[in-house]
Homo-oligomer: A and B are copies of this chain.
Amino acid sequence: MNARILSGKDIAESIKSEVAADIARLKTEYGFAPCLAVVRVGDDPASAVYVGNKVRTSEEIGLVSEHHHLPENVSRAELVGLVRSLNWREEVDGILVQLPLPDQINEREIIEMIDPDKDVDGFHPVNVGRLSQGEKSLVPCTPAGVIEILKRSEIEIGGKNAVIVGRSNIVGKPMAMLLLQENATVTICHSRTRDLPEMTRRADILVAAIGRPGFIRGEHIGEGATVIDVGINNVSDVDLARDLFGDDEIEKRLAAIEKRGFTLVGDVNPREAKEKAGNFTPVPGGVGLLTVAMLMKNTVEAAKTRRGVE
């Protein structure tokens, strides 16, 4: 078997154009563009890259965006004051506080302080609860992106066995709720699962979100399954790279390690997945690209709901 590669690029581009068209329409019909406020604290380089992507994409598609950058040693009071003012300001539709936050800040307090109607990351317990209860809510971007990939690739979900490896609040658990809403039979596996390969081999749809490079191997994958790789790991070990990539890709990967010191690898062994799976999302170029697109979509949804327009 040679898996069909589900490229996130085309799907992310489609979603972004749809959202851009919707924003243009809102401007014409109602005279406003939705506004996303992004808050970044400190100088974590990964956070800087993520926030940069979010702000740049906002601008590309016509969202108004604000970038608030606070110093690493910001006080709780200052950050709380900023979040409160963003909650109050009528023209702000979406608030995203980039995680992780420095140690002096209680992340949960900040997440629970964001107005749930502006919580475009979908991390506020009110949104998590509404998602679980099947009510309208703002849905975490990465699992929402996985659903878009499945639907737009015409992969049936209803009645299928979906197995999720990983039970994080950001991916695993909301992913389970979304797949359940789409009428999949859903199994959540994790580090305490006995005989993981036996559980995952039964999956029609296998979602890997554990944060361990290449952990899901051929033995975990049922013949012809759809394998969604949510992991994004930096690999600098040349031997590991040789184990993960086939002849078609290894030279490029080794060159990346040589040049940048690492190459991006998912939670699935791509060489073995390509042999066993029916469909497979690559890393990079798969689920990751959807996350920012879904953030844009969430911001427009939040704006419509808050402002009572369609």
Interface residue ranges of A155-210 to B (CB < 8 Å): 158-161, 167, 169, 173, 176-177, 180, 183-190, 192-194, 199
Q: Which interface class (under 10, 10 to 19, 20 to 34, 35 or more) fits A?
A: 20 to 34
**Residue A134, interface by CB 8 Å:** yes
- The answer for the CA separation of A256 and B186 in the assembled complex, in Å, is 39
**A296 → chain B, closest Cβ, in Å?**
24
Given contacts A125-B130, A126-B126, A126-B129, A194 and B159 within 8 Å (CB-CB): yes
- The answer for the CA separation of A126 and B135 in the assembled complex, in Å, is 13
**Residue A283, interface by CB 8 Å:** no
Q: Mark A134-170, 1 if CB is under 8 A from B, else 0.
A: 1100000000000000000000001111000001010
CB nearest to A199 among chain B residues: B185
Residues of chain B with a CB closer than 8 A to A132's CB? 125, 128-129, 132, 169, 173, 177
Given contacts A132-B132, A135-B108, A187-B185, A192 and B159 within 8 Å (CB-CB): yes
- The answer for the CA separation of A192 and B161 in the assembled complex, in Å, is 10
- The answer for the CA separation of A130 and B193 in the assembled complex, in Å, is 23
**Residue A124, interface by CB 8 Å:** yes
**Residue A75, interface by CB 8 Å:** no
CB nearest to A124 among chain B residues: B129
Which of A129, A188, A193 gathers the greatest number of chain B CB atoms within 10 Å? Answer: A129
**A162 → chain B, closest Cβ, in Å?**
10
CB nearest to A169 among chain B residues: B133
Are B134 and A129 in contact (CB-based, < 8 A)?
Answer: no
Identify whether the interface residues of A are mostly helix, strand, loop, or mixed: mixed
Are A187 and B186 in contact (CB-based, < 8 A)?
Answer: yes
**A119 → chain B, closest Cβ, in Å?**
11
Residues of chain B with a CB closer than 8 A to A159's CB? 192-194
Residues of chain B with a CB closer than 8 A to A130's CB? 125, 128-129
Are B183 and A186 in contact (CB-based, < 8 A)?
Answer: no
CB nearest to A179 among chain B residues: B188
**Residue A127, interface by CB 8 Å:** yes
- The answer for the CA separation of A176 and B174 in the assembled complex, in Å, is 13
Partner of A128, one of B129, B188, B192: B129
Are A185 and B180 in contact (CB-based, < 8 A)?
Answer: no
Given contacts A108-B135, A134-B169, A173-B132, A158 and B192 within 8 Å (CB-CB): yes
- The answer for the CA separation of A190 and B182 in the assembled complex, in Å, is 12
Question: Which A residues have a C-beta under 8 Å from some C-beta of B?
Answer: 108, 124-130, 132-135, 158-161, 167, 169, 173, 176-177, 180, 183-190, 192-194, 199
19 additional A-B pairs beyond A128-B128, A158-B192, A173-B177, beta carbons within 8 Å, are: A125-B128, A125-B129, A125-B130, A126-B129, A128-B130, A128-B132, A128-B133, A132-B132, A132-B173, A133-B173, A159-B192, A159-B194, A161-B194, A167-B180, A185-B187, A185-B188, A185-B189, A185-B190, A185-B193
